[in-house]
Amino acid sequence: MFRQARWDEPLIYELSKEGLIGHLVPEPSKELVDSVGARPEEMVPAAMLRKETPLLPEVSEVDVVRHYTRLSQMNYGVDLGTYPLGSCTMKYNPKICEELASDDNIVWLHPLQDEDTVQGILEILYKLERWLCKITGMYKATLQPAAGAHGELTGCLIIRAYHEYKGEKRDEMLVPDSAHGTNPASAAMAGFKVIRVPTRDDGCVDIEALKAALSEKTAGIMLTNPNTLGLFEKDILKIAKMIHEAGGLLYYDGANLNAVLGKARPGDMGFDIVHINVHKTFGTPHGGGGPGAGPICVTKELEKFLPIPVIEYDPDNKKYYLDYNRPYSIGRVRAFYGNIIPLLKAFVYIMSLGEKGLEKVSEVAVLNTNYFLTKIKSVKGYTLPYAPERHRKHECVISAKELRKETGVTAEDVAKALLDEGVHAPTIYFPPIVEEALMIEFTESERAENIDRYAEALRRISEKAYKCPEELKKAPLNTSIRRLDYVKANLPKTVVLTYKMYIKKLRKSNSTGR
Ligand SMILES: *Cc1c(COP(=O)(O)O)cnc(C)c1O
């Protein structure tokens, strides 16, 4: 069984000792000073020079190296073991993508370089755009948004611009109650009123409720297909027709495109805008807020609203260039041209797999989910709510409602107990339409043996719950950090410590009369 290294590792601020130095800045040579005519500190305008040293920990180089090495050994990642975080798509990221993304020709590029000197990366980005459009069945893309949620916001702003262009006042965005939380948030940020659409017992959008919600105020709908339950929306063509006839647009949350890669395209389903989380579907290690990129692809009709700049190719001069001359554009959404590194990794990922490979990605991801379900269905305490007879796509949501009712053990306790089993917990309590939700997504990364082990761990936890539930309430016991106090965890120790150091320093400077 995998166990993480357990160090009693303090914060780097706690390691701080006055006078310790990690890195010495070399003295400038006499020749350099003579040739410039000044020492470096004399060249900085007086107003910009610090009066006091910044509040940084004072540590030696070896302290720093040991500290971060120990932290890395306490950490759990997809390179260490199974990480089936539903909706977040934590997949293995091929090292070839990392290697090429850290090539000197990439990392030393500067966004202010002349266009003529960056033709290579522009070509890569242009081709990636074309590929993403082909994969989604759309017309034109922008790679600028820095994450999925940012793509959603960009898409919502385009929907707004489209209705304004047509001279229509439409301010209502329909969002199913199974949607990712970023959907209603993005719609609200773009100025829309969010109208919640309920889910039927079969896990799909309630068509009757949708019909009732449509009006001349409807700007559009934000849909995830397959939805967060892992179910493909059977009525998608009917829904698209209804929305379009009402004058609205369809937005596709394509964060988890590995569910349908090479099998179905949002464009063919009737969607007008799609965002893609390249950091999920096309591999880039992500978590804790980044790094990522959330390109969006749109139909021909919406092309003119895309953010500036748009990468174009001039066949006469055989040159790629950034086009800023777009009068209907919603404007800029990101500095320069977005997060180049995750985009480059996506380019390498797609290129290394090719069309057939991408199709296989979704086949294996879907197979893994359904293989897991066959293993877990018979385990006491867990159920599969919403259309249990239907196959799931890239992920599934099981409920620990029965387990809680019969033993008091909650989805959270199960998640903590899984850490003791040496694997990562799934996403819990999402989507909110499932009570005691455990949302599991193995992706295509896992072999059957690893899925077997995960199902076995869940079975052991269920058995323990019926025998000695109080023990599970104490989990995790094997990890460096035990169960957190959620209130205290919201006030990071670093903040408290920096504050204390600041106060100490203030007192000291007061006592010396400064
Ligand atoms: C992850 C995710 C998002 C948000 O993407 P970020 O890159 O985290 O902003 C939106 N929708 C779904 C379905 C997701 O899984």
For residue range 52-75, list pLDDT tens digits in order. Answer: 888 889 999 999 999 999 988 888
CA angle (70 as vertex; 94, 490 as ends), nearest 5: 90
Helix (H, G, I), strand (E, B) or coil at 135: helix
Cis peptide before 431 (omega within 30 of 0): yes
Q: At 149, list the tokens.
A: 């949620």
Q: At 175, list the tokens.
A: 């969002």
Distances (CA, A) of 399 to 3, 48, 340, 404: 27, 58, 39, 10
Half-sphere exposure in the Cβ direction for 313 (13 Å, CA): 13
Higher pLDDT among residues 5 and 133, named by residue: 133
Give the span between the Cα atoms of 42 and 420, in whole angstroms: 57
What would the pLDDT profile of 336-353 be if each residue is shown by its tens digit?
889 999 999 999 999 999
- Where do the structural domains in the chain lie, given as residue ranges? 1-75, 124-352, 362-472, 484-514
Residue percentage of the chain with pLDDT more than 90:
81
Whether 497 shows a pLDDT value over 80: the answer reads no
Q: At 88, list the tokens.
A: 């977040």
Q: Is the CB of 294 under 6 A from ligand 1?
A: yes
Which pLDDT score, from 0 to 100, does residue 511 have?
67
Order of strands across the sheet with 437-440?
396-399, 437-440, 427-428
Mean pLDDT of 366-387: 97
CB 275 within 8 A of CB 254: yes
Higher pLDDT among residues 244 and 513, named by residue: 244
What is the overall mean pLDDT for the chain? 93
Mean pLDDT of 130-149: 97
Q: Is the CB of 220 under 6 A from ligand 1?
A: no
Which pLDDT score, from 0 to 100, does residue 505 have?
76
Mean pLDDT of 107-118: 94
Whether 196 shows a pLDDT value over 90: the answer reads yes
What would the pLDDT profile of 243-263 be if each residue is shown by its tens digit?
999 999 999 999 999 999 999
Q: Give, as one character, the DSSP assignment of residue 172.
A: E
Residue percentage of the chain with pLDDT more than 70:
98
Give the span between the Cα atoms of 261 and 443, in whole angstroms: 12
What would the pLDDT profile of 429-471 be if each residue is shown by its tens digit?
999 999 999 999 999 999 999 999 999 999 999 999 999 999 9
Residue linked to tokens 């006499």: 30
Q: Is the CB of 253 under 6 A from ligand 1?
A: yes
Give the ranges where 377-447 is alpha helix by DSSP (H): 401-407, 411-420
Of 242-256, 283-297, 490-504, the least confident: 490-504
CATH class held by domain 124-352? alpha beta
Which pLDDT score, from 0 to 100, does residue 337 have?
84
Instruction: Kindly report the number of other CB atoms within 10 A of residue 497's CB atom.
Output: 18
Ligand 1 mean position, distance from CA 182 (Å): 7
**Domains 124-352 and 362-472 agree in fold:** no
Ligand 1 mean position, distance from CA 496 (Å): 31
Mean pLDDT of 136-145: 98
Ligand 1 mean position, distance from CA 422 (Å): 26
Ligand 1 mean position, distance from CA 147 (Å): 8
List the one residue out of 352, 4, 465, 391 whose CA is nearest residue 229.
Answer: 391
Q: At 209, list the tokens.
A: 């409720």
Mean pLDDT of 168-183: 97
Whether 506 shows a pLDDT value over 80: the answer reads no
Q: Which helix (H) or strand (E) holds 173?
A: strand 172-176
The closest-lying atom of ligand 1 relative to the alpha carbon of residue 151 is: 9
Give the span between the Cα atoms of 61 and 299, in whole angstroms: 54
Higher pLDDT among residues 24 and 224, named by residue: 224
Mean pLDDT of 391-410: 98
Which pLDDT score, from 0 to 100, does residue 147 have?
95
Select from 180, 276, 282 the residue to mutate for testing ligand 1; criterion: most ligand atoms less than 8 Å from CB: 180
Give the span between the Cα atoms of 398 and 229, in whole angstroms: 9
Whether 236 shows a pLDDT value over 90: the answer reads yes
Helix (H, G, I), strand (E, B) or coil at 364: helix
Ligand 1 mean position, distance from CA 88 (Å): 7
Per-residue H/E/C for 7-61: CCCCCCCCCCCCCCCCCCCCCCCHHHHHHHCCCHHHHCCHHHCCCCCCCCCCCCH
List the one residue out of 459, 438, 423, 425 whose CA is nearest residue 82.
Answer: 423
Which pLDDT score, from 0 to 100, does residue 4 have?
66
CATH code: domain 362-472 is 3.90.1150.10
Q: What radius of gyration, in Å, describes the C-alpha atoms of the chain?
A: 26
Whether 513 shows a pLDDT value over 60: the answer reads no
Mean pLDDT of 70-98: 92
Mean pLDDT of 106-113: 93
Which pLDDT score, from 0 to 100, does residue 514 have?
44
Q: What is the pTM of this model?
A: 0.89
Q: Is the CB of 401 under 6 A from ligand 1?
A: no
